[in-house]
Amino acid sequence: KVYDWFEERLEIQAIADDITSKYVPPHVNIFYCLGGITLTCFLVQVATGFAMTFYYRPTVTEAFASVQYIMTEANFGWLIRSVHRWSASMMVLMMILHVFRVYLTGGFKKPRELTWVTGVVLAVLTASFGVTG
């Protein structure tokens, strides 16, 4: 009865049928999600970084005090900073795994050389931001 109520409004069965009827090539596996996971980590970085810009002061005299304020006094500041830090580490790790997956599966070969070069530039930027903060 409850399922029928939801089915009538949301057409759950039609959505499920559409999802399950898609053809997935047999060589595709979970490692093909690493680029999307890296992108998700980047979006989390943007959101949490934007949230922290309201409290963080990047000067020599105020930086430490502003981080202390974020961690102890700002509402949910400790959570936002922790998510930002963990997401940065996860982004670097997922990026490294993604580069290995692309290399091992030959995703850099013709006609995708420009995509590979773009990815290497993004990997260098990610690693440099990951190291420097």
Spans of all domains in the chain = 28-132
pLDDT tens digits for 94-131? Answer: 999 999 999 999 999 999 999 999 999 999 999 999 88
**Is the pLDDT confidence value at 133 over 90?**
no
Give the pLDDT of residue 24.
Answer: 86
Give the pLDDT of residue 1.
Answer: 85
Q: For the residues of 68-132, what is the DSSP string, one character each?
A: HHHHHTSTTHHHHHHHHHHHHHHHHHHHHHHHHHHHHTTTTSTT-HHHHHHHHHHHHHHHHHHHH
pLDDT tens digits for 49-107? Answer: 999 999 999 999 999 999 999 999 999 999 999 999 999 999 999 999 999 999 999 99
Superfamily of segment(s) 28-132: Cytochrome Bc1 Complex; Chain C (1.20.810.10)
pLDDT tens digits for 16-49? Answer: 999 999 888 888 899 999 999 999 999 999 999 9
This prediction has a pTM of 0.82
